[in-house]
Structure 1
Amino acid sequence: MAIANVRMRDQLHDQSVRDPLTGLFNRRHMLETLRESINRSQQTGAPLNLIAVDVDHFKKRNDTHGHDAGDMVLRAVGAALEQGCGRDEVACRIGGEEFMLILPDNTSDDAITRAEQLRQAVEAVSVRYGEKSLPRITISVGVSHYPAHGTMPQDLMRAADDALYAAKDKGRNQVQVAGSGSDAQQISQLKKPVKAVGGKSTA
């Protein structure tokens, strides 16, 4: 009975922090983890980065192929993001077609490179629905760094979101970085254009 109670408690806890569709952590757990990660970085000086991800043209996919196909796309994107995470990194689905990743102990340059690798990994995914393959999946990605783009969870999230919307404004399927133009020079070697953005961009 005691073992069964422990298992049930663990199962309930897992359900409270996991997204039921993708199996990734949910927004609640993401916020808690981000706060803890910021506190750790404040104490140790360790780098911390946040990556915001949005599936391009997702509503059009749902309207064209149906919600079941849309769910398959979200699961495939979630799996690709989770596979791209290291041991202490966290991938979350925060709602709809939006995801966020928390990358501690990565330099800003490494985080930007990782964001581009994730974009390429998702682009390489093939999803079959019934007897046909769905159109290629692409994502728009925004990156923010602690403390350059904020010292509070909402500030880092806003900066990453602003960069993500800038990526969508500039044609989708690319990585944009919050902040000044210096970041763009540092990552100019990446195959896909990756640019730094400043203020808030309109979606």
Structure 2
Amino acid sequence: MELDLPPVVFDIGGVLTAAEGGVAPLSALLDIPRDRFAEPYWRHRSEYDRGMPATEYWRKVATDLGATWPDEEITRIDEFDARRWSELAPGRLELIATLQTAGVRTALLSNAPASMARVARESRWSAGFDHRFFSSDLGMIKPEPEIYAEVEKALGTDLVFFDDRPPNVAAARDRGWQAHIWTDVPAARTILGLD
């Protein structure tokens, strides 16, 4: 069955993967209180998503925590963080498969450091996407308008977009995209007319 839908663009973290993010599992791994770990983790994240090398990012986090991590520990932490994107949350794979089987073009648009982009690219679940746009590859992040323009170069301006962050959705709407705050799979199916 063919579906008459424009290309559908998905964010990854909090949309296709669990919304919790890396703070809880990483703070447990490092035995650092979650509230104490969260601030430095997020403080430098935009720079990391834009392409800052992993060693530089994790050293900044460590410094803010008053810690020193050797290179081997940084590699272990970074790989642990990136692995979160190797599997999708329940129901997402079926939603994506429904669209792709029906001939709908699909794309990823995510603020992602290089290690997480690599995991996503190498994961079986991402193989069917027509395009994969990662902030670390482009040197720009959502909600900057330039990153949306990169998507439009490949897919045009008539797009459906799901993201869990209101500023990212607002920026897409400013460009005329049919952009929606992600809530869950049933809501996305309704928006896409799949039910």
Q: TM-score range by the shorter chain?
A: under 0.3
Q: Which has the higher contact order (CA 8 A, sep 6+)?
A: 2
Structure with more helix by fraction: 2
Q: How does the TM-score come out when normalised to structure 2?
A: 0.28
Q: How does the TM-score come out when normalised to structure 1?
A: 0.27
Structure with more strand by fraction: 1
